[in-house]
A and B are shown apart, each in its own frame.
Chain A
Amino acid sequence: MKRGLEGPPPEDRPTPAGRRNKQGIRIDPEVEATHEPRRTVISALVAHEPGVLSDVSGLFSRRQFNIESLTVGPTKDEDRARITVVVEEPDPGIDQIKKQLRKLVPVISVRELEPDAMQRELALIKVDADDPAQVSAVADMYDATTVDSSPETATFEITGARQKIEAAIDTFGQFGIREISRTGTTALARGTEETAAAVNATESTATEANHDETYQTANDD
Chain B
Amino acid sequence: MSERAAKVTQADEEAQDDDQITDSAAPDAAQEADAGSETTPAPVTSGAEAVVRALENAGVEHAFGVQGGAIMPVYDALYDSEIYHVTMAHEQGAAHAADAYGIVSGKPGICLATSGPGATNLVTGLADADMDSDPMVALTGQVPTELVGNDAFQETDTTGVTTPVTKDNTFSSDSDTVGSDVSEAFALAGEGRPGPTLVDLPKDITNGETDHEPDAPSVPETYEVQERADEEIVAAAAERIENSNRPAMLLGGGVIKGEASEACREFAIEHEIPVITTMPGIGAFPEDHELSLEMAGMHGTGYANMAITHCDTLIGIGTRFDDRLTGGIETFAPDAELIHVDIDPAEISKNIHADYPLIGDAATVVEQLAEAVDESPEATKWRAQCQQWKSDYSMAYDAPEDEPLQPEFVVEALDEATDDDTIVTTGVGQHQMWACQYWTYTEPRTWVSSHGLGTMGYGLPAAIGARIAADDDQDVVCFDGDGSFLMTLQGLSVAVRENLDITVAVLNNEYIGMVRQWQDAFFEGRHSASDYHWMPEFDKLAEAFGAAGFRIDDYDEVADTIEEALSYDGPSVIDVHIDPEANVFPMVPSGGDNGQFALTEDQL
In the complex formed, the residue of B with least CB distance to A207 is B357
Question: Apart from A16-B334, A19-B330, A201-B345, what 13 extra A-B contacts exist at CB < 8 Å?
Answer: A1-B398, A1-B403, A3-B581, A4-B598, A18-B334, A18-B335, A20-B331, A20-B334, A21-B330, A24-B332, A102-B345, A105-B222, A209-B348
Say which residue of A8, A18, A58, A95 sits within 8 Å of B164 (CB atoms). Answer: A58
B188 partner, pick from A16, A95, A105, A210, beta carbons under 8 A: A105
Q: Which residues of B contact A4 (CB under 8 A)?
A: 583, 585, 598-601, 603
Q: Does B494 contact A (CB under 8 A)?
A: no
Q: Which residues of A contact B345 (CB under 8 A)?
A: 99, 102-103, 201, 205
Given contacts A3-B601, A4-B583, contact A16 B310 (CB under 8 A): yes
Minimum-distance CB pairs A-B, first 6: A4-B600, A18-B334, A99-B346, A24-B352, A25-B353, A202-B230
Query: Of B329, B331, B346, B355, which is in contact with the most chain A CB atoms at under 10 Å from its CB?
Result: B346
Q: Which of A13, A22, A50, A103 contacts B596 (CB 8 A)?
A: A13
A47→B310 contact, CB < 8 A:
no
A151 within 8 A of B: no
Q: Does B396 contact A (CB under 8 A)?
A: yes
- Size class of the contact patch on chain A: 35 or more
**Which of these, B233, B353, B586, contacts A20 with CB under 8 Å?**
B353
Q: Which residue of A8, A17, A55, A103 is within 8 Å of B335 (Cβ)?
A: A17
| B binding-site residues for A, Cβ under 8 Å | 159-160, 163-164, 167-168, 171, 188, 220, 222-224, 226, 229-230, 233, 302, 306, 309-310, 321, 329-332, 334-337, 344-346, 348-355, 357, 359, 392-398, 400, 403, 581, 583, 585-586, 593, 595-601, 603
Q: Which residues of A contact B171 (CB under 8 A)?
A: 50-51
Q: Would A51 and B233 count as touching, CB distance under 8 A? A: no
Distance A9 CA – B598 CA, assembled complex (angstroms)? 7
As a 0/1 sequence over residues 1 to 12 of chain A, the CB contacts with chain B under 8 angstroms (1 = contact) are 111111111100
Q: Count how many pairs of residues, one from A and one from B, have CB atoms less than 8 Å apart in the complex.
A: 154
Can you list 7 contacts pairing A with B, beta carbon distance less than 8 Å?
A8-B393, A20-B353, A24-B351, A24-B353, A58-B163, A103-B346, A108-B222
Do the beta carbons of A19 and B222 come within 8 Å of each other?
no
In the complex, the answer to whether A13 meets B163 with C-beta atoms within 8 Å is no
Question: Do A8 and B392 form a contact, CB below 8 Å, given A24-B349, A105-B222, A202-B230?
Answer: yes
A135 and B454 alpha carbons, distance in the complex (Å): 63
Residues on the A chain within 8 Å of B336, using CB: 26
A26 touches B334 (CB 8 A): yes
Q: How far is the CB of A32 from chain B (nearest CB, A)?
A: 12
Most chain B CB within 10 A, of A1, A13, A47, is at A13
Contacts of B353 in A (CB 8 A): 20, 23-26, 209
Contacts of B330 in A (CB 8 A): 19-22
**Is A7 in contact with B599, judged by CB distance below 8 angstroms?**
yes
Q: How far apart sit A15 and B331, CA to CA, in the bound complex (Å)? A: 9
Using Cβ atoms and an 8 Å threshold, which residues of chain A touch B393?
5-8
A34 at the interface (CB under 8 A from B): no
Rounded to whole angstroms, the CA-CA distance of A20 and B226 in the bound complex is 29
Which chain B residue lies CB-closest to A62?
B164
Known: A20-B329, A55-B163, A96-B346. A2 touches B357 (CB 8 A): no
Closest to B193 in A: A103
CB <8 Å contact, B352 and A209? no
Q: Point out the residues of chain B lying under 8 angstroms from A206, CB to CB.
A: 230, 233, 357, 359
Is B357 touching A205 in the complex (CB atoms < 8 A)? yes
Q: How far is the CB of B601 from chain A (nearest CB, A)?
A: 5
B244 to chain A, nearest CB (A): 15
Query: Which of A8, A22, A201, A203 meets B224, CB within 8 Å?
Result: A201
Please encode chain A, from 173 to 213, with 1 for each CB lying within 8 Å of some chain B CB and 0 for all others. 00000000000000000000000001001110110111000
Residues in chain B near residue A210, CB distance under 8 A: 355, 357
Asked whether, in the complex, the Cβ of B599 is within 8 Å of the Cβ of A6, the reply is yes
